Amino acid sequence: MAERSKPWVMRTYSGHSSAVKSNELYRSNLAKGQTGLSIAFDLPTQTGYDPDAPSAAGEVGKVGVPVAHLGHMRQLLEGIPLGEMNTSMTINATAAWLWGLYLALADEQGVDHGLLQGTTQNDIVKEYLSRGTYIFAPEPSKRLIVDMIAYAINHVTKWNPINVCSYHLQEAGATPVQEIAYALATAIDVLDAVRDSGKVQPNQMPQVVGRISFFVNGGVRFIEEIAKMRTFTAMWDEICRTRYHVDDPSLRRFRYGVQVNSLGLTEQQPENNVSRIVLEMLGVTLSADARARSIQLPAWNEALGLPRPWDQQWSLRMQQVLAYESDLLEYPDVFAGSQVMESKVRELTLAARVELEEVLALGGAFKAIDELKSRLVASQADRVARIESGEQIVVGVNRFTETAESPLTSGAEIKAVMTVDPAFERAMIADITAWRTQRDETAVRGALQELTRVAQSSQPGDNIMVPTITLAKAGGTTGEWADALRAIFGEYRAPTGVRAGVAVRGEQFANLVERSKAVTANRGTPPKILVAKPGLDGHSNGAEQIAVAARDAGFEVVYQGIRLSPEEIVAAARDEDVDIVGISILSGSHLALVPRVLDGLRSAGVEAKVIVGGIVPDADAATLLAEGVSAVYTPKDFSLSAIMSDLLDLVETST
């Protein structure tokens, strides 16, 4: 038998409820053959709030694990030797803090920081463009990233301090060309900032370049995805050679991890998602010269809700069958010399170079946020329009929709997804209260003062990681760290990218416009909708597409972006005198947040109809409808023209 290549690191992106519960899940997954950790944090942790903060209400433990202090990090990684584990943390705005907790725990365990291996995601650009868990403006955010890279290169030399993420760009609608160009532009912006910071020596830049890693998306068009990865690899090598003068080929390697596409997973016939996930995995494994170094696969039922441990095991087994049963790893690159592949790579390279140069001409990724966001919203609108028209086929959604009942999702005795008990949030609030009473307040105050001083300093010798680690050891909390920096840097609201006319609409939209005109003629004002995202959920793609489609259908649209409180939504609905309040929630906190909006509207005397969109189980949808919601939409409701028609029905019947 031919000598086999070493398999990639196999991860499962997971975390929920509490650090103790997540630790049980991690140890179970490792026992099943998972070879690396991928930690999902809850939204309060990602956006810098403690569990008892008003903004965290309804969000604690919902989409990941809450980690508010060093005690939680101890619980999360109990029994897992940090010096032997490869740990990936999906954390961005608060990346320095969570990494500080991890390093403080390593010190407690007596583990040399030079032995630690893993990755902090730490790509704030894609948070502005897609994922929404930013706190600070681009420049102070860049400074935090630079400090982490400088600290890593001097003290934690096997760690990847940033994982430039094109994954979320594809989820936001990016074409392969945009995905390549915007990710490379981000990497260039960060590396230029490190080079110019004075925090690393010029002779360290090759090592800095060598620690930059990427996190990409693998779509179902897996031949094109293979070409994309080969293009990424070649373009990154060229940038490293020509812009940063890196001579060592090993430091120019395009090192990337993958989670394959979640955007294309469907609520309808969710068993089809298994085929999609396998095909997407092939796109990042078949080409040995551009193969992923780590892979995490989504679960088949993620469009339905939070996957169970069994679902995650199924995704892990897909990787293991490919790596250990197939002969994939016995051969060199099977696409070497392929004329088809070489032609596609040339095509992507030429287009991506043009797009990249446009971004650099705008001043780089951090300065071009507004323009890039608008381009992504337009690309997503085009994608959605192609699906609605049938031009882009999605099996089980717009073609081949007849189906037998699925044994995977039918039957009252089987829960197809996992839910988080609200009691965990109450327990976390009690936990953080108790934690604060047991620590040395003088040490915490001193650490916060030093954190504030360093945050205000422009001296190369001051690095945010030093007081961050000190604060972690003193017993500081996620909210305290973030609030100290909010006082210095302020908070940021990213552009929405929403504008009308970005997609080619069909005849249905022409009819919708005529109905809107009739409403306007009848009452003197056009139909008006407030699109609102309460809570900390920053995944705004759906809300943005509703806002764009509503404008194209003749509505006047009010969309103020993400992370609005229920009170702010009520005030906007009252002041703007809207007909409809459309609430988008993807974090699972709909039962906690939507009733607060409904109660607020009633108290304010606002008669607007309320609709809800998100990943909402049938039982929860029934609860919301009973509370007074007019309609609930989930991922199966892909037709924007049908949704807009429903909204106009609501306006017409109340006019």
For the chain, which ranges sit under pLDDT 50? 1, 412-414
Residue 537 designated active-site:
yes
Residue 539 designated active-site:
yes
Burial 137-175 (b: 16+ CB within 10 A, else e): bbebbbbbbbbbbbbbbbbbeebbbbbbbbbbbbbbbbb
pLDDT at 506: 76
What is the C-alpha to C-alpha distance for residues 638 and 398, in angstroms, rounded to an integer? Answer: 9
Intra-chain end-to-end CA distance of the chain, in Å: 75
* In the chain, where the domains are located: 9-299+309-389, 507-654
Task: Supply the DSSP string of 354-393, one letter for each residue.
Answer: HHHHHHHHTT-TTT-HHHHHHHHHHHHHHHHHHHHHTSS-
Residue 167 designated active-site:
yes
pLDDT at 44: 96
Conformational region of residue 17, where left means phi above 0, alpha means psi within -120 to 50, and beta covers everything else: left
| Selected catalytic residue, list 62, 533, 590, 609 | 533
Residue 559 designated active-site:
no
Model pTM above 0.85:
yes
pLDDT per position as a tens digit, 239-284: 999 999 999 999 999 999 998 888 889 989 999 999 999 999 999 9
Domain 9-299+309-389 = CATH 3.20.20.240: yes
* CA nearest to 323, candidates 540, 35, 78: 35
What is the C-alpha to C-alpha distance for residues 156 and 9, in angstroms, rounded to an integer? Answer: 20
Going by the DSSP 8-state scheme, the letter that residue 328 receives in this structure is G
* Position 127, amino acid: E
| Selected catalytic residue, list 49, 167, 244, 492 | 167
pLDDT at 652: 93
User: Distance of CA 437 to CAs 57, 441, 599, Å?
Assistant: 22, 9, 35
Residue 199 designated active-site:
no
| Selected catalytic residue, list 72, 539, 590, 609 | 539
pLDDT at 416: 52
pLDDT at 485: 98
Q: Order across the sheet with 580-585: list the strands.
A: 556-559, 528-532, 580-585, 609-614, 631-633
Domain 507-654: top CATH class:
alpha beta
pLDDT at 62: 87
Residue 13 designated active-site:
yes
| Selected catalytic residue, list 16, 69, 168, 609 | 168
